[in-house]
Structure 1
Amino acid sequence: MTTAAYSPRDAAPASAPIGWLARAENWLDDKGKGAWIAAMVLGFIFFWPVGLALLFYMIWSKQMFKKSCRHSRRSHYGHSATRPSGNSAFDAYKADTLARLEQEQEAFEAFLKRLRDAKDKAEFDQFMDDRAKTAAAEQETREGEPA
């Protein structure tokens, strides 16, 4: 018994064939923003109306502005992390591991926040001490002056 790899074409109904433009768009989306830019540059190099058409399409479809790199990375890895493998024991292990990692990430972020808060407090306390010393020195200087 062999298992075939999942393909996005498997999910599409047989009555709706995907055209080459849609396949190209999906391929570019999978590769990210850099692939869109490279396609546009190559379009300008080989036949400028193609590059211009790609530029207008990217602006019109908000392709250039819809995802940041961080979001793209998360969605790429998140997709494979949430996809079931077909093995219930592995899926349970994966879910437990992901939950544990999320808890550790939240704890680490809370730790970093406490560190930042402690550093801010120490810097503020030092500022207030310096300010108090400066004010005391000015007060002594004024008291030592003849009236």
Structure 2
Amino acid sequence: MTTATSAIKPAWTPLTTGLMILGFVAFWPLGLAMLAYILWGDRFQDMARDAKSQWNRSPMKGCMNQMNGNGYARTGNVAFDDYRERELKRLEEERAKLETMRNEFDEFLRELRRTKDQGEFDRFMADRGHGPTTPSA
């Protein structure tokens, strides 16, 4: 058996009342939180225990436990599950290829913009009589 102790007990003491008032003065949600702690703080452990026991009885817990690495629950049909895993892997590889192509295209557009900007800058410099510049190494 473990015992939990805290410096501030959930009761109407001068300390908790003062903290509640300071909480309302500083930022009203803090005061409200302190008021909730004073009124229901002794029940927080019971509420947490009740929530945990409800989760353990929940049908969702069974579904969460059946999840595999892809985030999908196993169906129990081995052939279908294997097929789904192969397809998901294939789709992931295809997504990676598309991402690589997208990055290459973005690089192409950056180079295209740089070339266009360089041409416009050279034309500007020629119009001013300075002539085109060569990039320094």
Determine which structure has the larger helix proportion and give its number: 1
TM-score normalized by the length of structure 1: 0.41
Say which structure, 1 or 2, has more relative contact order (CA 8 Å, 6+ apart). 2
- Higher Rg: 2
